[in-house]
Amino acid sequence: MRQLIAGNWKMHGTLAGVAAYAAAIKAAPAHADMLICPPSPLIEPFARALAGSAVAVGAQDCHGAPQGAHTGDVHAPLLRDAGATHVILGHSERRESHGETNAHVQAKVQTAVAARLIPIVCVGESQAQRDAGEALHVVKSQLIHSLPADFTGVVAYEPIWAIGTGLTPTEDDVAAMHGAIRAALLDHLGDAGGTVKILYGGSVKPGNAASLLGQPEVGGALVGGASLKPEDLLAIAAAAPRG
């Protein structure tokens, strides 16, 4: 399976920065898929700037309804219309600061898929949950309750304590969690669970990418901070094993 290296810009970036970033990121290595997820108003300019390149554009969230009276939210069909092919859903920052539950995430997945967007569903435990020995249980429960039984898309394992902290799990911990996620996906989705890419996310940098991306069942990376510099995201993509 080709790996997917996805950049999550979070709430960063301006229109003025799109052209230079797009020009730099077009040099993406041919052996990995690449995706940039900027804030919503930058999706259409990015899609135009990257047209004809191998780099795709995604969104960071969508509403669980396809349209309606939801001030400030963005609907999945519009994201698709603007040029997005993917959408990140259930990121821990949204679960925490917007009170998103697994049920909300599942509704968003269904709406995204109906709009022909590929969902990237984030799961991951907090430091307290890991310390209490509950990491596996928490992640499996998020998967089972966030993914519809006919799920198609991507899953991202993002331990909350590793996001933006410079901390990462050990190689063994990544391998164990990704193996457990694969088993849970097979259990929940049947054979289709074997085709879901499982990204790792949390403080991926050029210096640790090769070891994290080289672990069994790691199908790529979801990259926050390091995705803001195209040269760092390209270096991470270059470290992806050839599928």
Identify any residues that bridge with 156 across adjacent strands, giving them in sequence order. Answer: 122, 199
Dist. CA 222–CA 181, nearest whole Å: 16
Given a contact cutoff of 8 angstroms between Cβ atoms, the answer to whether 220 and 199 are in contact is yes
Dist. CA 27–CA 58, nearest whole Å: 18
CA 216 to chain CA mean position, Å: 18
Say whether residue 41 binds ligand PEP (CB under 6 A): no
| CA-closest candidate to residue 46, choices 33, 36, 34, 60 | 36
Dist. CA 106–CA 144, nearest whole Å: 10
Residue of minimal Cβ distance to ligand PEP:
224
What are 85's two structure tokens? 């092919």
Applying CB under 6 A, which part among 71-79, 126-134, 158-166, 171-179 lies near ligand PEP? 158-166
Say whether residue 204 binds ligand PEP (CB under 6 A): yes
Applying CB under 6 A, which part among 23-31, 126-134, 139-147, 157-165 lies near ligand PEP? 157-165
- Shortest approach of ligand PEP to residue 165 CB, angstroms? 7
Looking at beta carbons only, is 5 or 196 nearer to ligand PEP? 5
| CA-closest candidate to residue 36, choices 224, 238, 170, 242 | 224
Dist. CA 142–CA 10, nearest whole Å: 22
Q: For ligand PEP, which residue of 27, 81, 164, 190 counts as binding (CB under 6 A)?
A: 164
> How many residues sit close enough to ligand PEP to count as binding (CB under 6 A)?
13
Dist. CA 8–CA 58, nearest whole Å: 9
Looking at beta carbons only, is 166 or 190 nearer to ligand PEP? 166
Q: For ligand PEP, which residue of 57, 143, 163, 180 counts as binding (CB under 6 A)?
A: 163
Dist. CA 223–CA 35, nearest whole Å: 10
- Shortest approach of ligand PEP to residue 226 CB, angstroms? 6
Query: SS3 of 157, please?
Result: strand
Applying CB under 6 A, which part among 20-28, 102-110, 171-179, 221-229 lies near ligand PEP? 221-229
Say whether residue 224 binds ligand PEP (CB under 6 A): yes
Q: For ligand PEP, which residue of 202, 219, 220, 230 counts as binding (CB under 6 A)?
A: 202
Applying CB under 6 A, which part among 34-42, 75-83, 130-138, 198-206 lies near ligand PEP? 198-206
- Binding footprint of ligand PEP on the chain (CB under 6 A): 8, 158, 163-164, 201-204, 222-226
